[in-house]
Chains A and B, each alone.
Chain A
Amino acid sequence: DSGVTQTPKHLITATGQRVTLRCSPRSGDLSVYWYQQSLDQGLQFLIQYYNGEERAKGNILERFSAQQFPDLHSELNLSSLELGDSALYFCASSASPGTTNTGELFFGEGSRLTVL
């Protein structure tokens, strides 16, 4: 158990819809990352938040957005869903700077999104 919690574990929805994926990082971790794993693209970095602020952006579509709340949980919002958005979405967290930050990312179990 990595200590990172993601909900829901599975989600089935239709094209054009909007969904929200939720992530609670490990206790004490200020950084949250979102990754998308699809068959054709592999594991792709989407976005990183640190203590509520966006720190790094990857290949995140404009239809997708994320935020990190004061309690440090994060949500990834996916809108106008397309068939190609079907994927496993991972959240990860890492130890904060100033601690024993080895750079290791602790991943949640993922949220599997199926768009029909």
Chain B
Amino acid sequence: AQKVTQAQTEISVVEKEDVTLDCVYETRDTTYYLFWYKQPPSGELVFLIRRNSFDEQNEISGRYSWNFQKSTSSFNFTITASQVVDSAVYFCALSERGRGAQKLVFGQGTRLTINP
């Protein structure tokens, strides 16, 4: 069965610090997708990034970067120079697709608090 583990339940840092959120996944599929979503205090789920299993290139988007390592089944997320607005719960998710069906399996989430 597919599983996503976010071992860090809560992280608290001071503004401008760098912070890395860990994500480890399990799947028997050779083709899969990994995602990160952000859930700010307002409650909605905001898509951040998608990565397919064949693309192990790291990605950077502004202060955000993602490190995908298939060898360790990890898809970690780093925020550089964190800001108070980054405070949210962050979810890593794994997608299983086939026969027109798709479901995301989410990790338990990491609550990130950025203190001024």
Where the two chains meet, the residues of A that have a C-beta atom closer than 8 Å to any C-beta of B are 2, 31, 33, 35, 42-43, 45, 48, 50, 55-56, 58, 88, 90, 92, 94, 97, 102-110, 112
Whole-angstrom CA separation of A112 from B43 in the bound complex: 10
Residue B84 at the chain A interface, CB threshold 8 Å: no
Whole-angstrom CA separation of A88 from B42 in the bound complex: 12
Q: Would you call A107 and B44 a contact (CB within 8 A)?
A: yes
Whole-angstrom CA separation of A88 from B44 in the bound complex: 10
Complex contacts, B107 vs chain A, CB 8 Å = 42
Q: Would you call B47 and A94 a contact (CB within 8 A)?
A: no
A and B contact pairs by CB, cutoff 8 A, 23 listed: A33-B104, A42-B108, A42-B109, A43-B106, A43-B109, A45-B103, A45-B104, A48-B102, A50-B101, A55-B101, A56-B101, A58-B103, A88-B43, A94-B102, A103-B33, A103-B35, A105-B35, A105-B102, A107-B37, A107-B46, A109-B42, A109-B44, A112-B43
Whole-angstrom CA separation of A58 from B108 in the bound complex: 17
Interface bits B75-116 vs A (CB < 8 Å: 1, else 0): 000000000000000010001010111111111110000000
Q: Would you call B101 and A48 a contact (CB within 8 A)?
A: yes
Q: Would you call A31 and B102 a contact (CB within 8 A)?
A: yes
Interface footprint category on B: 20 to 34
Q: Which among B47, B50, B108 has the greatest number of chain A C-beta atoms within 10 A?
A: B47
Q: Would you call A103 and B44 a contact (CB within 8 A)?
A: no
Q: Would you call B45 and A90 a contact (CB within 8 A)?
A: yes
Complex contacts, A104 vs chain B, CB 8 Å = 35, 47, 50
Closest to A31 in B: B102
Whole-angstrom CA separation of A105 from B91 in the bound complex: 13
Q: Would you call A56 and B103 a contact (CB within 8 A)?
A: yes
